Chain A
Amino acid sequence: MFDISVRNIINRKLRTGLTVFGIGLGIFAVIVMGGMSEHFNLTFERSMSLTADKIRVLPEGGIFGITLDESKVKNVKRVPGVQDAFGILQVPLDPDKIMFFGGNVVLGIEPGKQKSAMEDTKLTQGRFLVPGDGYRVVLGSNIARQFKLNVGDELQVRSKRVFRTSSITHVRNFTVVGILEYTGTFFDNSAQVPLDRAQDFYDRGNEVSFILAVPEPGVDAENLARRIELSVGRVTTFSPAELRQQIEQSLIIFSMITLSAAALAAIIGSLSVMNTMLMSVSERTKEFGLMKAMGAETKDILFMTMSEAALMGLLGGIFGITTGWVFVYFLNGYLAEQGTVLFDITPRLVVISMTFAVVLGVLSGTYPAYRASQKSPMEALRYE
């Protein structure tokens, strides 16, 4: 019976084409928006896996942007159970740009702490920062690609100091000494410089943006985080679990917004399937009556009509996923040159999109199929 459904679809090329295009556009939106959501989820997952063992210590209230005095690092280190702690100063690479979608950042970090901060991340070129390094920088893979830099090249960094009526911009070249491998985390968009040079260049005195505390092996991170808060004072800590929970909540909201918009587009696309199927059923009233007169059961008619709708959903899904993939491929290529990547089409997303397309097709074909199956053969045969 399925071959008859295929035949019906092929015989109505223009109508099928337009319907498939409609549902395909919806699935295109699902793939693109879902790809963006997947990218953020993956970046978060990879970032978490790189820094999962550390406790973040932030200024009281847990607000990024407000800084801590570097002296707090020593206080954190003194807390029993802390194996190591180091401060990081985080500043946007371009002072005129608002950080959006994890733009490029300068990370001021103590030389020698890089490996600890990024677990086992390796270098594709050069070396890590070492004590005694001056205006040296280790670049994340995206920044290196964006500015087409290799070891030995210079990265021009600007800092802006704002006064009451004027601002002064300082420009400084940092020599590239190392380039990190691609990690799929925010470290790809970081330029890591020695902490003291960053503090000088950005005129931040002894400030750091946050402190990373490494617990001793076997120490409960949740417990230690509470103890750091109590011992150090005027700081807020995030244990790995708390951080995960906080970021996951934000990501769920982001995913809901993007996927709802995409789902809406796909549902609108599915209305075109319903419209097509209703027209098709209406046109074939006599045909269904005839089939019933020949002994077709209600389930035969239902199967035939719904498989047509499902097939159109499937074709729409294939069309949407293919065009979405091509679009994302080229857009990611372009964005990579700008130093960022926004989309990840994962197998999970492809399966969800395809299932969504077929389910939408089937759902939108249910009512027309029901109408077709309920045609009385007598009335249908009289229908002209």
Chain B
Amino acid sequence: MNSNGAILRIRNLSKTYMQGKIPVHALNDVSFDVHKGEFLSIVGVSGSGKSTLLSLIGLLDKPTTGSVFIDGEEVTKFKEREAPKIRREKIGFVFQHFNLIPTLTAFENVDIAMRFARVPKSKRKDRAVELLTRMGLADRMKHKPSELSGGEQQRVSIARALANHPAIILADEPTGEVDTKTREVIVNLLRELSEKGQTILVVTHDVAVAQKTDRIITMLDGKIESDVKVTGKVKLKRAG
């Protein structure tokens, strides 16, 4: 970890896409730090650059300029073929549409993430059972995604994200597909994980979700508009 305690450091991150011959600046010179165990939300209207930021941190895309440091290592300087290793060791993803593999059971969906990390079978089993039990899904392990509710699927997805002990969890609209009651369950679960030391970045439109996090970064036109610590109720602009 870096000397200032930041598990994630973003420095002058920019991303420019070409739309035909016209350059589109999706992200423009963004810099911030995230500390271990921090529960941070990134909010903003559609096109503000929050999803681009998440994909650059998750090494799903390459920045035009700037750097991302995870656990003190500059991950943006690694080559394309090294990206899978960093993804499985440092990052856990939680998606809006859960993105579970439909042909695998809940247990296998958690297990497969560890397979890619070449974790031995016996350790995988223990870890998957432990995580699913922690998510309250001990009796749903053998069920396929189609047999699980939205909330249950998202909890499987969180268990999968945690499987390889990542430095950060990147959650893209994790409550976008669930009802209000389930949203509470998911947010409380993420909160609980962060209190136990897990660093979590959530991209959300949902004000109620953002207000449950420790810190809210608001994006606008590819730049950070505001970066505030949540102490009580924070008044947010309605995200688009």
Q: Mark B177-204, 1 if CB is under 8 A from A, else 0.
A: 0000000000000000000000000000
B103 at the interface (CB under 8 A from A): yes
Bound CA–CA A104/B129 (angstroms) = 73
Bound CA–CA A376/B61 (angstroms) = 9
Let me know if A381 and B164 touch, CB within 8 A. Answer: no
A287 at the interface (CB under 8 A from B): yes
Bound CA–CA A352/B197 (angstroms) = 59
Let me know if B61 and A294 touch, CB within 8 A. Answer: no
Which B residues are CB-close (under 8 A) to A300?
Answer: 116
Smallest CB–CB gap between B26 and chain A, Å?
12
* Residue from A291, A298, A378 within 8 A of B61 (CB atoms): A378
| Central interface residue in B81, B116, B164, by most chain A CB within 10 Å | B116
B69 at the interface (CB under 8 A from A): no
Smallest CB–CB gap between B217 and chain A, Å?
21
Bound CA–CA A298/B88 (angstroms) = 14
Bound CA–CA A380/B135 (angstroms) = 27
Residues of chain A from 137 to 162 with CB closer than 8 A to chain B in the complex: none
Which A residues are CB-close (under 8 A) to B115?
Answer: 1
Q: Mark B56-71, 1 if CB is under 8 A from A, else 0.
A: 0010110000000000
Smallest CB–CB gap between A330 and chain B, Å?
40
Which A residues are CB-close (under 8 A) to B81?
Answer: 298
* Residue from A11, A286, A290, A293 within 8 A of B103 (CB atoms): A11
Which A residues are CB-close (under 8 A) to B142?
Answer: none
Smallest CB–CB gap between A1 and chain B, Å?
7
Let me know if B116 and A296 touch, CB within 8 A. Answer: yes
List, sorted by A's number, 8 A–B pairs whose CB atoms are closer than 8 Å.
A1-B115, A4-B104, A286-B99, A293-B58, A293-B87, A293-B93, A294-B160, A378-B55
The 5 lowest CB-CB distance pairs between A and B, nearest first, are A295-B88, A378-B60, A295-B87, A295-B116, A296-B116
Known: A291-B116, A381-B95. 15 other contacts (CB 8 A): A7-B104, A8-B103, A11-B103, A291-B112, A294-B87, A294-B93, A294-B113, A294-B116, A295-B85, A295-B117, A297-B116, A298-B81, A298-B84, A377-B60, A378-B55
